[in-house]
Structure 1
Amino acid sequence: MNVENAIEPDSQTAALEFLKKLAPDESFVMVNLLKFKENAEYKEGSKYKEEKAISGAEAYQKYLDEVIGFVQKSGKDVQVLSDSKVFGLLLGKVEELWDRVVLVRYGSVKVFQELTQSKPFLDAQEHRLAGLAGQLNIGTKASS
């Protein structure tokens, strides 16, 4: 098994194919395996570029805080089930462990699409991109 972290889906088509595996009203849990940059890297021209240097983890936390704040205000059916630091690997081998695992439950594909296309979510991406070295997003649903 080859494992490659990424920041964005390979293409818009790949993202749509991923979502087609579920019914539009079906809930799912996204497993986010996160690897952070040592230091956040904001793009030239960013209003955050000139601020005090922060870690990649701190930049990602800003992203998460903004998205969670928006979700709470909007009443969308999205819930962070777990946000945990990775401390070790019991089975298997990878070159480098992820730093954090975040489990997020989405009430439906529609809710996921609405969230990821919303202005507050898109605005928060600046922190996410500045902080992440890479990630894996694994979609899961309850077994029947």
Structure 2
Amino acid sequence: MTSPEQITRYLEPTQDAGRAFVMRQLEGQVVMLNLLRFREVADYTATPELAPPSPMSGAAAFQRYIEHTLPYLLQSGGSIEFLGQGGALLIGPPDERWDMAMLIRQRSVESFLAFATHEAYLSGLGHRTAAIEDSRLLPLSDMTPRPS
């Protein structure tokens, strides 16, 4: 069994992962599959200026992140396509769970990068950091067959 000290958490992309994402040269719309596991209690240690007056759950802190982020996402041409409550996996490790799954559609990689580096958006990123215990972000390109 893995001890808590040995568990690797993924909260933000590495430089190598960001570079690989750009190098994929995805064309057209991109959908970001987010898998999110929340902290029981949000941790605002890194951004005390965003902290609420009393402790809140990670899920509540993530809701604050969504409320802060949505105007910038929409302004950049993006949208939330799906937001759903998760739980235990049907196929996968029995001890793994994701509290929420989210699909974000962006009109292009360039639009996504402009959104992700927008100064006003970044000012509220601390809500996400406070909320998340672990996450995965998988960029997807559309391969849906279209009628001819």
What range is the shorter-chain TM-score in? 0.7 to 0.9
Structure 2 equivalent of residue 111 of structure 1? 111
User: Which amino acid is 2:11 matched to?
Assistant: I
Q: Does 1:8 align with 2:30?
A: no
Look up the match of 1:98.
98
Structure 2: which 5+ residue stretches go unaligned?
1-6
SS in 1 for 2:124: helix
Q: Pick closer, same or farther for the CA change 1:109–1:39 going to 2, 3 Å.
A: same
Q: What's the CA shift string for 1:79-132, capped at 9, x where partnerless?
A: 100000014432232422100000001100110010000012211111000000
Aligned mates of 2:99, 2:73 — CA distance in 1: 24
2:20 corresponds to which residue? 17
Provide structure 1 residue ranges, at least 5 long, that are not aligned to the other structure.
Answer: none
Deviations 1:12-44 (A, max 9, x none): 232121122134x52111100000000001026
RMSD of aligned alpha carbons: 2.1
Runs of 4+ in structure 1 over 4 Å off: none
Distance (Å, rounded) in 2 between the aligned partners of 1:113 and 1:14: 13
TM-score by length of 2: 0.83
Residue equivalent to 1:71? 73
Q: Which amino acid aligns with 1:98?
A: W
Residue 27 (structure 1) aligns with: 29
Between the two proteins, the alignment pairs up a number of residues equal to: 138
Contact 1:6 1:135 in 2 (8 A): yes
Question: Which amino acid is 1:55 matched to?
Answer: S
CA contact (8 A) 1:66 1:120 kept: no
- What is the CA–CA distance in structure 1 between the aligned matches of 2:123 and 2:51, rounded to whole Å? 15
Q: 1:94 to 1:32 in 2, by over 3 A?
A: farther
